[in-house]
């Protein structure tokens, strides 16, 4: 499946599920420590937007974009990568201040080693995380993710979430 087809299908799905729901739409911004297989660690920026699934409490559809900002090294060459993914997210609130979540999804990964070799492939990703609510709209987010594609990765990310109420 091409990048354009994946983007188009994701867009249609987001638009079709964006009816009025009891839970708000959210946006995340995170910084992630990443570790590709057989490479040094790097740093990536992660942004995501989630919309609630109508009539399904605690279930969201999330679109996410992540990209390296400090490239890891593989065999002394810089490695960069970008992911565009769609996820199903289940969030379990324990009280007004704390929630745990899990997510799974599909993504498209584009990776490049210096200027020589580049590759694009589809993959899957899984994550678990916790959210601590600061106030009605702002929460702090911590997440552990794994990506399995052409380039396998582990992410540990922290960031902020804003809920549009």
Q: Given the structure tokens 């995380």, which residue do they identify?
A: 129
- Give yes or no for a contact between 132 and 98, defined as CB atoms under 8 angstroms apart: yes
pLDDT digits (tens, 9 = 90+) for 120-130: 889 999 999 99
- Give yes or no for a contact between 50 and 58, defined as CB atoms under 8 angstroms apart: no
What mean pLDDT, rounded, does the chain reach? 86
pLDDT digits (tens, 9 = 90+) for 63-110: 999 999 988 887 778 888 999 999 999 999 999 899 999 999 999 999
- The structural domains of the chain, ordered by start, are 3-164 (2.40.160.20)
What's the length of the chain? 165
Q: Kindly report the pTM of this predicted structure.
A: 0.81
- Give yes or no for a contact between 10 and 106, defined as CB atoms under 8 angstroms apart: no
């Amino acid at each position: 499946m091409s990048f354009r087809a994946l983007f188009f299908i994701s867009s249609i799905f987001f638009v079709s599920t964006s009816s009025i729901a009891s839970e708000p739409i959210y946006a995340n911004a995170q910084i992630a420590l990443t570790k590709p297989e057989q490479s040094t660690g790097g740093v990536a920026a992660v942004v995501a937007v989630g919309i609630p699934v109508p009539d399904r409490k605690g279930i969201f559809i999330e679109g996410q974009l992540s990209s390296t900002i400090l490239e890891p090294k593989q065999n002394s060459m810089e490695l960069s990568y970008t992911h565009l993914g769609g996820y199903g997210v289940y969030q379990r609130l324990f009280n007004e201040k704390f929630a745990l979540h899990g997510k799974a999804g599909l993504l498209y990964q584009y990776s490049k080693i210096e200027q020589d070799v580049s590759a694009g492939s589809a993959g899957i990703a899984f994550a678990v995380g916790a959210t601590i609510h600061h106030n009605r709209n702002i929460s702090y987010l911590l997440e552990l993710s794994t990506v399995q594609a052409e380039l396998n990765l582990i992410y540990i990310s922290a960031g902020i979430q804003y809920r549009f109420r």
